[in-house]
């Protein structure tokens, strides 16, 4: 895989907007040791490896430059959904007090038949106001991807703020602001300007927690459409690599498929849609209210083949193979395909301006992932397909898990992936070049061959994603 950089002026301007992701020093050093491991240094040299690592730290704090929408192609043709979406977003733009000229640009992905791409405008030259609202880091990240500020995300506001006031919105990077404060001098970053929809007294009322939009964004630093209530059954916001996972799994009508860690159900619903809702998709998750979310998504997308259960997937294999039950645990070799989108450290998520996790927390996922993997292999039929994925960038949770799986389960063999639009696997886990080429690592610090901003949208969108990893196995 070859890489490209954006033109220096564009890259420098963009990366100066936010600082690098804020991590504990021990975590930064750990990540550096991963991206500058001996195999990487032998492949690309110290200077290039160091450059990639620094780019990773810089780009993680920024949102991807494209919004990815998975269209419900099982309900309507892609072009029909594209036109409906364009009309809805154009109406939204016209109703906005800061409406700008120009039509909404929505393009189909040339290789993924149910994906629509929308360019994100940013970072934009937005002037900060004197009145400041502070939101939590998670809320701030959502704003950078097109959301308005919902009331529960607000942690501080001016003392006399009233509905209708123009305010600047800042994100609390380290979570140190006391809820209800009137000002904050800690580490924060500007994410745009908006109009307050509520008085301060309503926001921080102890007797009745505020709900709904607290600040409506009118001048976001990154402008992308707000999808709240927009074609909910036809247009599903989903990161591009997460859509790729469903296609790599390759579900077919009539099969029985297991999604082991399914919440909130985006991938589950995609699997059912790809099967044309013919067959059975079993979705498991440990948290009950997340199961409700899966069922709600399935209902909204008119999918009837999904059966969701609250269950710990590490215990999903029945000790009595002769016992046939509708729900978990299941007898060994019960499923044609298994998706293990594993719990992980999430260090590929974007935008992520900072995390307070310790190195111990970052490194705590590998044992759980292996327990889940063992259950997945047992539940998979002979000749079945297992797809393992994470949204993190570490070796321990990605390539090292592949190396461990191939050593532990001789009947597993790596398979080519289609589509394969990310980079190959990262060296460092002792995997051969042939095996690394079969893996798919979405690496936002890497880019593509074209340097011009006029390069096809899909090429740039394929490279500018969250950090993500996919491995596909066949059980022989």
Cα–Cα nearest to 405, from 372, 428, 359, 433 = 372
Q: Looking at 226, 363, 391, 459, which residue is catalytic?
A: 391
Report residue 226 CA to chain centroid gap.
Answer: 17
Q: Measure the CA–CA gap between 210 and 193, rounded to whole angstroms.
A: 21
Whether 391 is a known active-site residue: answer: yes
The C-alpha angle with vertex 331 and arms to 326 and 336, in degrees rounded to 5, equals 85
Q: Check: CB of residue 316 under 8 Å from CB of residue 331.
A: no
Q: For strands 380-390 and 468-475, give the pairing.
A: antiparallel
- CA dihedral 311→312→315→319, nearest 10 degrees, is -10
What Å distances lie between residue 198 and 141, 172, 214, 218, 280, CA to CA? 21, 20, 6, 15, 45
What Å distances lie between residue 413 and 124, 339, 435, 450, 472, CA to CA? 47, 16, 10, 34, 8
Task: Give me the active site residues, please.
Answer: 391
């Amino acid at each position: 895989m070859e890489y490209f950089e954006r033109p220096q002026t564009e890259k420098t301007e963009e990366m100066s907007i936010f600082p690098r992701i804020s991590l504990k020093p021990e975590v930064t050093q750990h990540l550096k040791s991963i991206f500058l491991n001996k195999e990487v240094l032998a492949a690309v040299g110290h200077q290039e490896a160091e450059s990639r690592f620094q780019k990773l730290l810089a780009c993680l704090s920024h949102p991807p430059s494209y919004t990815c929408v998975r269209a419900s192609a099982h309900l309507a043709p892609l072009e029909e959904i594209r036109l409906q979406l364009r009309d809805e977003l154009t109406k939204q733009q016209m109703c906005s007090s800061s409406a700008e000229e120009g039509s909404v640009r929505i393009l189909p992905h040339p290789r993924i038949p149910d994906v629509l791409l929308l360019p994100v405008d940013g970072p934009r030259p937005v002037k900060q106001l004197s009145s400041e609202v502070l939101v939590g880091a998670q809320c701030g990240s959502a704003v950078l991807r097109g959301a308005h500020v919902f009331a529960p995300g607000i942690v501080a506001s001016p003392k006399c703020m009233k509905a209708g006031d123009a305010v600047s919105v800042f994100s609390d990077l380290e979570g140190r602001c006391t809820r209800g404060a009137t000002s904050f001098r800690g580490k924060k970053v500007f994410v745009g300007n908006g109009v307050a929809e509520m008085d301060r007294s309503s926001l921080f009322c102890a007797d009745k927690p505020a709900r709904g939009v607290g600040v409506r964004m009118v001048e976001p630093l990154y402008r992308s459409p707000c999808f709240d209530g927009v074609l909910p059954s036809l247009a599903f916001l989903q990161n591009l690599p997460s859509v790729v996972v469903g296609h790599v799994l390759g579900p077919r009508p009539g099969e029985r498929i297991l999604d082991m860690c399914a919440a909130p159900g985006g991938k589950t619903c995609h699997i059912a849609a790809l099967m044309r809702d013919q067959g059975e998709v079993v979705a498991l998750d440990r948290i009950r209210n997340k199961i409700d979310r899966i069922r709600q998504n399935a209902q909204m997308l008119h999918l009837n083949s999904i059966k969701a259960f609250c269950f710990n997937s590490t215990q999903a294999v029945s000790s009595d193979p002769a016992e046939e039950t509708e729900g978990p645990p299941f007898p060994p070799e019960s499923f044609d395909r298994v998706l293990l989108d594993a719990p992980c450290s999430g260090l590929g998520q974007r935008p992520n301006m900072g995390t307070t996790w310790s190195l111990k927390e970052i490194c705590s996922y590998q044992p759980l992932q292996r327990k889940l993997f063992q259950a997945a292999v047992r539940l998979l039929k002979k000749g079945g397909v297992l797809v393992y994925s994470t949204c993190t960038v570490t070796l321990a949770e990605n390539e090292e898990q592949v190396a461990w799986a191939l050593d532990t389960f001789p009947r597993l063999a790596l398979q080519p992936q289609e589509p394969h639009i990310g980079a190959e696997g990262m060296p460092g886990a002792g995997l051969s070049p042939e095996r690394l080429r079969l893996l798919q690592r979405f690496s936002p610090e890497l880019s593509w061959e074209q340097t011009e901003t006029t390069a096809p949208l899909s090429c740039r969108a394929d490279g500018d994603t969250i950090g993500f990893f996919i491995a596909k196995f066949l059980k022989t």
